[in-house]
Structure 1
Amino acid sequence: MPELPEVTALAADLNTRLSGRVIDRFAVLSFAALKTVDPPVSALSGMTVEGVTRHGKFLDLAAGDLHLIIHLARAGWIRWRDGAPPPPTGRPARGPLAARLVLDDGSGIDITEAGTKKSLSLAVVRHPEELPGIARLGPDPLADDFTLDVFAGILSGQGRAQIKGVLRSQSVIAGIGNAYSDEILHAARMSPFKPAAMPPEQIARLFEAMQSTLRDALARADGLAASELKSEKKLGMQVHGRTGEPCPVCGDTVRQVIFADSTLQYCPTCQTGGKPLADRVLSRLLK
């Protein structure tokens, strides 16, 4: 799933390619992905793209007085197409293609979603805040006003909630998902099941780990095309997605905990005092 660094890079890449261009049409091929009906997608035709930005993990393509909002979810992606798309066959669409934006010269973007579990979402709105997912977003962790004091207040308000879940909650902090929460906690040398309310010195350590992890990932992704972002993200991971491999910091074996719909990875030596976490949904560190 693309998270804050990748969505930021995607927005920058698309902004360069699309700004000032005229939309010929926007075609939705996976109708379950479309979450709005008014304005219709046909209203984008003839609009000039004014820019592409992001809100948390949402991409926001502004065109005229409308916004095309894209959430790529777990398996969605965007591919740039230099030439005109192939002509329609008249048969129902199959495969990963969910939507297609065509510019006035035939080039454009294909929005795809792999796998059978479809959760990619598309919306055409007049204001981004019309979407509940955007309206309830928490603060952006890389915003200038996201200070250590703001972060401390957020953690205090979460009480005994597990810090892994707090970092992933989009209504608490926008843009961090499963992968970067693993990386942030590894950099902070902190258990994923640690309560959010913690001493000031630990809050400062976690805040620094969050800032450095996200900013380093942003720097690696800066200037990359969409086609290069997935591999760059994977290469930059220290523990996430590396179960069974040696931790690059201490050499211990990276372990995982499996949940109903996701997994987390961690290093026992770096994060849990050498003790493995029980691999069940309600796991917590055995003291």
Structure 2
Amino acid sequence: MLGSLVYVGGMTPEKAYDIVGIDGARFGDELARIGYNGWAPCPGTTPKAFVELHIEQGPVLEAEGITIGAVDSVQGISWSELSITGVSNHAGTTPMNMRKDPLFCAAEIARFVRQLSEEIGNNQVGTVGKIDVSPNLVNVVAANVEMTVDLRNTDEILLRQAEDQLEEFCNKLADQEDVKIKKKQLARFEPVAFDLDLVQKITEIADSLKLSSKQMPSGAGHDAQMFARICPSAMIFVPSQDGLSHNPKEFTSKDDIEAGGNTLLRLILDIAGG
């Protein structure tokens, strides 16, 4: 989504080039290394509309036996990195009530993220996807933990509520366990609503092709949400087998891909003729 964000003017190329990955590599340097540091001016030309065909990356369409998802919105995304600092100590000689254990705190945060998401509801999801422990030894109370938290919701107010509650929980936990917890915001995007006319056209085209369809939000981020800033935008989803994505077993059948392609083609022709 970084390329589309720059294209629509949401970020300057210079700022994008200076982004540094978790491996320490600078984005602009890596683009130059592989020959992809393009010359096209940004912001670019504003299109009449933007429509993106994509696999669902989730289980809903397959579970409900539906072929086409007419995507009406994209969830807001909040990514943060938490650095928890305690005191490294001997696992056998340090009493439980005298520990400053960042790994215990990380486990409590992971549990809270799950509980928080279930309590808020309304498409709220929360994920702890990465944990690095130091020194990561069997007989040593950890000294430091780096972890990530991914919060998403289609409602901006509820997403902010989740962020606030997580921060409050971390502050209380740090005091309770006598550790330090520092937060770094990695990414933040507000929820995006797609063009209702395009969404409706997708369902109408699916009906004309005798394809089952439903309106649904996207839980993942996509280029279309960036283009929604400058032109009417929407997405078409096709089913993901077993709901798997970011997984070597990710698969969508040829029939479903064809159905999505035909829906996209009809929509493009409709837009071009309108």
TM-score, normalised by the number of residues in structure 1: 0.23
Hey, which of these two has a bigger chunk of helix by percent? 2
> Which one has more relative contact order, counting CA pairs under 8 Å at least 6 apart?
2
Give 1 or 2 for the bigger CA radius of gyration.
2
Hey, which of these two has a bigger chunk of strand by percent? 2
